[in-house]
Structure 1
Amino acid sequence: MSALNAQVETFTRLTTLGETVTEALDYTQVISTSGATEIERTVAAIGARELPAPVTGALDALTAVVERVIIANDPHRAIDWIGIYPRLLTTLLVAALNPKALPVEAHAAGGAAGSGSAARLPGGISFTDAPRDGRAVVYSGIQADPILKPLAQAIAAAPPADRLFARALMGDPEPDASTAAAYFGLLPTHRAPNDALVVGALAIGGKAAQSNAQYRGAIVEATTAELLKRRAALSREPERMVRRERRFAVDGASADPHPFDVTVETGPVPELWDCKWGARGIDDSLLAELEDARIRAAGVGVRIAIGIVAFDTAATVAARLSVLRGPREQTRIITLDTLARLAAG
């Protein structure tokens, strides 16, 4: 069996494990069907072409990751990998065979939020710190971990392919330096083992399952905040204007069940952002919560921006949204492919 044909079998086994989560079956079937189609197209495009040794080494590393997920019998992690596996496979091949075709992030033109001047918060709305309950105490300790800031800065500056490979390492049950070398060795950046992106991704991926999930969520928030602080309009006081884990209130009353992950607390248009590691974290209740906050602000004559940052591919996020019915017409969606748009405004 060729290295590429083996990828088809590997993806099928991954799908079988993911489909054991019955409550996520509709979403899993959507991403597995589209993923299988992408893999089939990739295999057909390569055909009988002989692959260089570095490529087969990277493919072997990718297969080994899925084996670790299957051996761990973790169907929820399997679903996450079903979403990114096809894009990882394609990106590895493009990086080796046609690097000029690697995706380049489309930076949005500087909009009002990015190029204008910050102003005071509009009257009628306010932000407060979340209560210091047990969860908040534990999570604040994670947010203060010194590994997060340099990793967030590295992700913010990295091209889309580098971000994708870093995500793969963070989602690997047992990542190692050889896997990182196999991935990044194919990219034009040729990141060294001591590169902040590599070091941070390996550190998070190497944590136990529960800690790993918490750190993955924290790095999405940290990266979101890092990019928002780079806006020209917020450069004078970024730490005051971009905050984490804050409650939003209209006329002093907050109806939100939990604090928003990242907020931009300045006029003319304050912003509420919810951050998710994977597309599966987006659900109808989240979409409704964001829309409710926007409507309540509009009720006192204030316009706010609402959005979701999903540290997942655009295709996977689109697949997730296709099975949801919650309101999202006014919700901005940022994906792994378009993170830099946060800094542009």
Structure 2
Amino acid sequence: MRIAIVGAGLAGTMLAWRLHQLSPGLNVTVHTLPSSGGDATAASGGLVRGFEPDGPSAGVAAESLAELYADPELRETAGYTEIGSVYVLEPGAEIADPLKVVDAWLPGSATVLDRFALHRLGLRRLPPGTVGVQESRAGYLSPARLRDGVLARLSAPVLRTPVTAVGPGAALTLADGRHVRYDAVVLAAGAWTPRLLNGSGGPGLSGPGLSGPGLSGPGLSGPGLSGPGVGSSGSGAGALRTKRIQYTICLSGLPRIGSFVDETSGLYGRPLSPEIMLLGVPTTGWDVDPDRVGVDTTVIAVLRETVRQRFGEAVTPVRSVAAADCYTDPAGLILRAAGPGLFTFTGGSGGAAKAVLAASRQAAAALLDAARD
């Protein structure tokens, strides 16, 4: 069985590693991309925690974090640093189920905070009824360091001749004109995935339903793989779309609350040093060209005002980082069927770092089940 993974970012590298763990000696090749844009793996802030507002997302995040704690070598490879986290939810959010999931994987890590406790941590002007989840066992890792460390361990060849086209089926066209056929091709190409799919020349993204263990969705059965195929036009449920991700390194005197996400304002961040914070807010830069992603200065202005509103402090921007990532609704780093022998492993919606360990294991198992069928 010959499997190709297109994309040597964090998702593709981890999937190749998991495939070798589950099936030693499997013929897996990792292909790079003809990209000149920002690398989302290198740009990621790497926030990791167990809590997510919905149970399934909390499951993969908490399982991934538990694996980090259980494996000192993996923790070192990823450059993991524990600083704790606070997740502020919209008023009325149901958190009982995700809290149970986090407690199962990371007992005693999560604590519920009311609005007044959040205020004592420095968060101001929160809507009435706001609650937060504070985790002691949370922090950040370096996605690029984890990717590079896993690549160094892989026995799979990494072909530096970029992929320029996909299809028909499980076939690739390389920049040097070669055409290579595999039994299965997985596009773990992040923001470049929609472009590759649109130019694949294959059957499109709604290909025939798959069946067998390890698959889920209409026409599919079992956990681990979503289907039917994924659209790339930017419309419809499950469509893959590119979006600018941007954060700013700021000089600040914000309270030391570890990493944080505030759903009520969109603000997120983590300390880089006692005087420096990585801070960001959501962008509206949809369907950007991943090779031409620039910093949006209007986002910096929104960020400064949001910080002032939420913390009552001014920050001084030093440097902004922009890249593109691949988003889908519903979000989630999941293996998805895209046609005969063709899959995608993307759609993490900007937060794949915290889920990639568990998600890659599930995806590898689903892919092997699908290929055997």
Please indicate, yes or no, whether the TM-score normalized by the shorter chain is above 0.5: no
TM-score by length of 1: 0.31
Higher RCO (CA 8 Å, separation ≥ 6 residues): 2
TM-score by length of 2: 0.30
Structure with bigger strand share is 2
Structure with bigger helix share is 1
